[in-house]
Every structure is written in C-alpha cells, then in structure tokens.
Amino acid sequence: MVRKSKNTEVLRREMKRFEQKSVKTLSIPSLGLLLLMTSLLCGQASQTAAPSAPAAQTTAEKSDSAAKAHDDSYVIGKDDVLSINVWKETEISRSVPVRSDGKISLPLVGEVQAAGNTPLKLEQDITAKLKSYIAEPEVTVIVQQVNSQKFNILGMVNKPGLYPITNSTTVLDAIAIAGGFRDFAKQKSIYILRENADGTQTRIPFNYKDVVKGKNPDQNIKLQPRDSVVVP
C-alpha cells in the first residue's frame, strides 16, 4: 500500500511538470509517456472506487429483506396461528391462535380483530394500541400455521375430509380430490354450505349431472375457505 501511494505521487508530479510545458514542444516519445502516465492514474482510480459496488448491493438486499418481512397479501382467517413479536418486549411477544370469533388477545393490547386482515394491517392495529404504553413499538406478525384456507367435503365420496384450498378450486375439483362418488350418491342433490360473516350459513345447490352436461355451469363455483361440500 505504501509503495502504491509513492508511485502515485511520482506520477502526479511528472504529470504536473509535463502540463507546464507547451504541448507543441513535446516530442513523440514524451507524448507517449504522458499518455502512459494518464492511463496508469485512471486505472488506479477505478480500482479504488470498485469496492463501493458490493456495499450498494448489500443495501439493496437489506431493502428487499425488510419489504418481505411485512406481508400485505395473505388474509388471516379463523384457526390460523400467528406469531406476534414486539421488539424488546418478550412478555407481549407470543404465538396465538385466531379464535372462532376472529379475534386474538395480547397483554396491554387486549382483544384485536385478526380474521379478515392482512398481517401488515394487524401489525398496524397492534402498534396503535401499544403506543399508549410503549414509546415506539415495533411489531411483526407472521402466519405460523395456515388452518383457515381449507374446505371440507363429506358424505357419499370415497375420501371425505378436510383439504387445502387454492384460488381456483371449484366444486368439481373438490369431488375429484375426494376420489369421486360412492355408490348411491345423490349427484343431483349436492350442496355447499358457506359460512357468512355474521355466523350464519348459506346453502348453495349443485347438480352434478347438469354441470357435467354443460347445463348451469354457474353452479360450479369457486370454493372459499371453510366451505363444506355435502354429497348426500
């Protein structure tokens, strides 16, 4: 490192000496030497600036990591298990299940609505409640277990039970996932029980015979979390 600094100083002094002369009086070899010294100085400058690139990349990676820590897409549902972390507040931080009424309970916070909100929205709600007790609360909400995004199919199918749901799962998909009908299944009398926000249920009819023939295709609805497909 010392030798490089001394070389740089020598080159800079030579450059200054050449600049004081008129370019017209320089010989061809002198011009060549001047160009060589300029190239060497530029090369050393670029090597010195190079290490700053990884630092910029690290900053970008940290920004991406921070953005992923807050989920604003998934909608929390009943029976999901949430990890609530309040920075430097171990007595408040804990894992809690979302109750059947859609709420969770935390020390100092009390009851707060979780179902129907995204983790980011729940973070904001908990933060607002904690500001009465903590100066600058930092809250993180992570969904540990997804138990709400499922549908149930029961009755005269080969594999009744609880299955994961996607955004595109239809009633026909549900019947296929359950292994099809058992003997004597009433394929014209199938129905879907859908839970409403107020706790009541809506009964939606589904005539398998008509749907597979192209009649009443609107009955092949997309299932929602906690729907129950009943095959009598």
Q: pLDDT, tens digit, for every residue of 124-141? A: 999 999 999 999 999 999
Work out the pLDDT band at 198, boundaries 50, 70, 90. Answer: confident
Residue 116 has pLDDT above 70, yes or no: yes
- pLDDT over 90 for what percent of the chain? 57
CA-closest candidate to residue 121, choices 88, 151, 143: 143
Q: Which CATH number fits domain 150-231: 1.25.40.390, 3.10.560.10, 3.30.70.330, 3.40.50.970?
A: 3.10.560.10
Question: Which range scores top for mean pLDDT: 22-36, 44-58, 145-159?
Answer: 145-159
Both tokens assigned to 134: 């903590």
| Confidence at 8, pLDDT banded by 50, 70, 90 | low
Helix intervals (H) in the chain: 2-20, 28-49, 52-68, 119-130, 171-177, 208-212
Q: Which of 63-67, 68-72, 205-209 has the lowest mean pLDDT?
A: 63-67
pLDDT-based confidence at residue 66 (cuts at 50, 70, 90)? very low
The shares of helix, strand and coil residues in the chain, as percent rounded to the nearest 5, are 40, 25, 40
pTM over 0.75: no
Backbone angles phi, psi at 38, to 5 degrees: -60, -45
pLDDT at 33 over 70: no
Domain range 68-145, its CATH number among 3.30.1950.10, 3.90.1150.10, 3.60.130.10, 1.25.40.20? 3.30.1950.10
**Residues 73 and 80 sit within 8 Å (Cβ to Cβ):** no
